Amino acid sequence: MTNAQIFEEYSGKLPENLLEEIKLKVPKRISKDKLKKILDLAVEEYEQSLVEPGEAVGLIAAQSIGEPATQMTLNTKHFSGVAEMNVTLGLPRIIEVVDARKTLSTPSMNIYLKPPYDKASKEEVKNFANRIKETHLNEIATQIDVDLADQKVEITLDMDKIKALELKQTVIKKAIKKQIRGLSEKDIVFEKDKIVLKIPESLSKEQEVDPIFKIKEKIKDVVVGGIHNITQVLPVLENGEYVIKTAGSNLKAVLALDFVDPSRTITNNIFEIYDVLGIEAARQAIFNEIYSLIEQQGLNVDGRHIQLISDAMCVSGKISGITRYGIIKSKSSALSRAAFETPIRHLTEAALSGEVDEFKSVNDRVMVNGILPVGTGLVEISMDLTKLNQGGDANEE
């Protein structure tokens, strides 16, 4: 028997990648006996590390994350984030991820650049970054005047800035038209370094207050360039290339940019990942977020606990947080739901729809002082009564 054959023999007992690892690490000229011994030991170790039937994996995952989380609240050391960028970290952020909040306290992105742009100089990257950053009209304007007599708003533009941001007249025009109601294209006229807005009479008649002042204020906030929602950009040198860190997130729009590397660019907004890349990506994103958060605090939690949580949050095909509106809602037992939060609401709703509780979950069994369906409580003895009779009557003897 060759060594290859021995490996073949164990292929069912050990997972492929483990076998491969042993193959690589074992010396080339190893005796068959020794190899067998090693493999037997590996099998023993492997089988010992398997989760046994009836192990409360969910609860252990919860404990494994919950225990370090209590330390995180006590560790009041403040990590002020990467280079001036304010990012929520630690326990508040974990809660945010696990609850699957739709609006984040600090949404942010890490934008990587595609080759050849990844070798770009700092100046060039800054330029890219500024193109990503949401630009409001008042940032490129030097002056905004109101002409009451002619019902006009005159915006004096900073042409150097416009050049730097590579903004085109048509784009600005479109943006204004889109974001301010009641203005048609012919009302927006470019004059050298000025935009003149003519307020149509239809607008002035509609409202009692002169709409021109309203428009003057509104026009300042018109987004003329960059990507919506990205309010801050900061190029940071990481591992020899520039990464653009942002405050604010818009994955879909950023991925569409030609200089962005779509395979590495990432956001911390799980819902955006779900919308753009799908549930599997979202699942991985949840895992990555929680794992890195715990790691940053210098704590050590086995990744499989976090995998279980991210799996549980994504099984339904949608992201559901560990809240009474998310995962808990999908519990079949009304009593379990009532035990989590807002018991009265859950109980009345269950009563209205005439729910039946099977008393199969751990929570329910605790309530009625039953045997919990975990560990030793999971197994039941079954007996073949026909065979019992074959043994004869004990009293006969």
Partner 1 sequence: MVDVYLNGKFVGSTDDAQCFVEKFRSLRRSGKVDATVSISYDEVHDSVFIEADSGRVMRPLIVVKDGKPLLTDEHIKKLEKGEISWDDLIKQGIIEYLDASEEENALVAITPEDLTEKHTHLEIAPFGIFGWAGSLVPDINHSPGARMSVGAKNQKQAVGVYALNYNIRFDMDVHTLHYPQKPIFKTATEDVSGIDYHPVGQNVVVAVGTYLGYNMEDAIVINRGSIDRGFGRSHYYRVESTEELKYPGGLHDTITIPDKDVLGYRSEYDYRYLEEDGIISPEVHVAENDVLVGKVSPPRFLSAGEEYELLSEGDRESSVYLKHGEKGIVDSVIITESSEGNKMVKIKIRDLKIPEIGDKFISRHGQKGVVGLIVDPEDMPFTESGIVPDIIFSHNSLPSRMTFSHMIEMIAGKVGALNGRFVDGTPFESESEFDLRKELQELGFRENGVETMYNPVTGEMYKVTIFIGSMYYLRLKHLVSNKIQARARGPVQILTRQPTEGRSREGGLRLGEMEKDAFVAHGAAMVLKERFSSDNTTIPVCENCGNIAVYDVIKDRAYCPVCGDKSNVVFVQTSYAFKLFLDELKSMQILPRLGLDKKV
Contact residues toward partner 1 (CB under 8 A) are 54-56, 59-60, 62-63, 344, 347-348, 351, 356, 362, 366-378
Q: How far is the CB of 54 from partner 1 (least distance, A)?
A: 6
In the structure encoding, which two tokens stand for residue 104, read together?
């984040």
Residues with Cβ within 8 Å of 55's Cβ and at least 6 positions away in sequence, in order, are 374, 375
Minimum CB distance to partner 1 smaller for 296 or for 348? 348
Residues with Cβ within 8 Å of 130's Cβ and at least 6 positions away in sequence, in order, are 164, 165, 226, 233
Q: How far is the CB of 366 from partner 1 (least distance, A)?
A: 7
Minimum CB distance to partner 1 smaller for 171 or for 371? 371
Q: How far is the CB of 371 from partner 1 (least distance, A)?
A: 5
Q: How far is the CB of 313 from partner 1 (least distance, A)?
A: 20
Q: How far is the CB of 340 from partner 1 (least distance, A)?
A: 12
* Contact present, 270 and 249 (Cβ < 8 Å): no
Minimum CB distance to partner 1 smaller for 17 or for 353? 353
Q: How far apart are CA 283 and CA 310, in angstroms?
A: 6
Angle at 204 between CA 201 and CA 210, to 5 degrees: 145
Q: How far apart are CA 132 and CA 113, in angstroms?
A: 12
Q: How far is the CB of 352 from partner 1 (least distance, A)?
A: 9
Q: How far is the CB of 69 from partner 1 (least distance, A)?
A: 13
Minimum CB distance to partner 1 smaller for 212 or for 347? 347
Minimum CB distance to partner 1 smaller for 64 or for 88? 64
Question: In terms of Cα–Cα distance, which of 375, 396, 303, 357 is closest to 56?
Answer: 375
Residues with Cβ within 8 Å of 250's Cβ and at least 6 positions away in sequence, in order, are 109, 227, 228, 229, 230, 272
Q: How far is the CB of 56 from partner 1 (least distance, A)?
A: 5
Minimum CB distance to partner 1 smaller for 113 or for 301? 301
Minimum CB distance to partner 1 smaller for 81 or for 373? 373
Minimum CB distance to partner 1 smaller for 268 or for 361? 361
Pairing mode, strands 141-147 and 152-157: antiparallel
Q: Which residues, listed in sequence order, are joined to residue 237 by a DSSP beta bridge?
A: 242
What angle in degrees, to the nearest 10, is found between the helix axes of 270-277 and 279-296? 150
Minimum CB distance to partner 1 smaller for 54 or for 81? 54
Q: How far apart are CA 319 and CA 217, in angstroms?
A: 39
| Residue located via tokens 């790691």 | 295
Q: How far is the CB of 351 from partner 1 (least distance, A)?
A: 4
Strands (E), the chain: 108-111, 135-136, 141-147, 152-157, 188-191, 194-198, 223-225, 232-238, 241-247, 266-267
Q: How far apart are CA 123 and CA 205, in angstroms?
A: 49
Q: What is the CA radius of gyration of the chain?
A: 32
